[in-house]
């Protein structure tokens, strides 16, 4: 069986209130499609939660314009713990989520009008492309960047979904053995070393870094790839100082970006490839796992610094829940993309929020 990576499915966002978190991401960033809403016990992830299962509330939120989803995740049997100190750029783990926008100025005004907390003004990255930083209700940092690939256009919505993320690493070359060689982010957009003005608004951003922005040479194909779109991963290595681990002394599921998840086909093939590259799976579900109204199997591994990467082989997704309309992906050709009209049906699960 071959391995196919359809794209980034979602980024996990640990919050203290999943209901309010979904409302914020839906109203401010347009991720108002509730793909699933799950209230169950997280058992498999016990090794990353103090050795015990925990109750949780998780909502998968999508934006029909295109881009990846947010898995908004909350402990319900313990108080989610924030970082002891504000996360510094370059700390080990997912520091920032990248979010798609058609026009950066339009997105800036739209998010400001909706009460989003923007950090400073519009900046320029090393390629002189515009972006701005902001944060969600829980202090998680977001970078709004312009993108050109979109699934469809929606009125009065300036942003799409997740475009990628910034990951703090201790050694870029070692980390690329996973992100470039296994996950396919093998094209370098820029590779720069120095002190960067565009990072100065973030805590610790005035220090010296090596940063490399990666994308995939091949366009993703099959299944939901048209919705998930292209993506980018930026690896940031702090030089001349020692970074902290973002989740040191805390649980997976506490406040912050808890994982980066890829939608894939061919789990057993991927498992063997990851193990051969030195990244064995650390957690695996069974083959009939359910997450709210969705079903499939999934696994986790750690990057060289312990950042959790998830893989999901989706078997069933709800297209229109109120009609009981579900899509069984097991019987489909994994190379064949879903028809656009079928993906568009997900919009029937939109939740309306007041402006």
Q: How confident is the model at residue 349 (pLDDT cuts 50, 70, 90)?
A: confident
Token look-up 């799950």 returns 38
- Could you state, in order of their start, the residue ranges of all structural domains in the chain? 4-349
Looking at residue 290, what is its pLDDT? Answer: 47
* Residue 79 CB contacts under 8 Å (≥ 6 apart), including other chains: 16
Percent of the chain past pLDDT 70, that is, above it, reads: 93
325 pLDDT exceeds 70?
no
Distances in Å between the Cα of 325 and the Cα atoms of 198, 319, 322 are: 46, 6, 8
Token look-up 């005035």 returns 206
When the pLDDT of each residue in the chain is averaged and rounded to a whole number, the result is 92
Q: How confident is the model at residue 15 (pLDDT cuts 50, 70, 90)?
A: very high
Q: What share of the chain is helix, strand, coil (3-state, %, to 5)?
A: 20, 40, 40
Looking at residue 172, what is its pLDDT? Answer: 98
Instruction: Render pLDDT for 140-184 as a digit per residue (tens, 0 to 9).
Output: 999 999 999 999 998 888 999 999 999 999 999 999 999 999 999
CATH number of the structural domain 4-349: 3.10.180.10
Question: Cα separation of 129 and 131, whole Å?
Answer: 7
CA angle, 304 then 305 then 308, to 5°: 90
328 pLDDT exceeds 90?
no
**For 112, how many CA atoms within 13 A lie in the half-sphere containing its CB?**
13
Beta-bridge mates of residue 191: 212
- Stretch 4-27: mean pLDDT: 97
Least confident of 101-115, 212-226, 227-241, 333-347: 333-347
State pTM to two decimals. Answer: 0.94
CA angle, 12 then 16 then 19, to 5°: 80
Neighbours of 113 (CB within 10 A): 11
Least confident of 46-55, 159-168, 286-295: 286-295
């Amino acid at each position: 069986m071959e391995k196919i990576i359809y794209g980034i499915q979602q980024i996990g966002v640990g919050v203290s209130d999943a209901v309010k978190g979904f409302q914020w991401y839906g109203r401010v960033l347009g991720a108002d499609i509730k793909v699933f809403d799950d209230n169950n016990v997280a058992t498999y992830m016990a090794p990353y939660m103090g050795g015990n299962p925990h109750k949780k509330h998780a909502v998968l939120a999508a934006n029909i314009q295109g881009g990846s989803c947010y898995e908004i995740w909350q402990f319900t049997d313990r108080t989610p713990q924030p970082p002891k100190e504000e996360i510094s750029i370059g700390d080990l783990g997912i520091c920032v989520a990248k979010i798609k926008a058609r026009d950066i100025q339009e997105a800036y005004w739209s998010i400001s009008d909706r009460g989003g907390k923007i950090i400073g003004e519009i900046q320029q990255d090393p390629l002189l492309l515009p972006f701005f930083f902001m944060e969600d209700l829980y202090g998680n940092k977001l970078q709004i960047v312009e993108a050109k690939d979109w699934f469809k256009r929606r009125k009065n919505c300036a942003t799409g979904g997740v475009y990628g993320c910034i990951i703090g690493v201790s050694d870029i070359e070692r980390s690329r053995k996973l992100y470039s060689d296994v996950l396919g982010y093998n094209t370098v957009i820029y590779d720069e070393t120095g002190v960067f003005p565009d990072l100065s608004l973030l805590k610790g951003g005035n220090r010296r870094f090596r940063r490399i922005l990666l994308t995939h040479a091949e366009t993703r194909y099959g299944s939901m790839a048209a919705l998930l779109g292209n993506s980018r991963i930026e690896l940031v290595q702090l030089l001349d100082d020692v970074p902290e681990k973002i989740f040191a002394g805390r649980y997976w599921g506490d406040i912050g970006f808890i994982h980066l998840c890829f939608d894939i086909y061919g789990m057993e093939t991927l498992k063997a490839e990851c193990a051969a590259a030195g990244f064995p799976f650390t957690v695996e579900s069974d083959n009939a796992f359910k997450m709210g109204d969705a079903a499939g199997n999934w696994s986790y591994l750690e990057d060289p610094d312990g950042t959790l990467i998830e893989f999901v082989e989706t078997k069933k997704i709800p297209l229109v829940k109120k009609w009981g309309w579900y899509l069984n992906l097991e019987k489909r050709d994994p190379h064949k993309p879903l028809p656009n009209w079928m993906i568009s049906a997900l919009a029937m699960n939109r939740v309306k929020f007041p402006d």
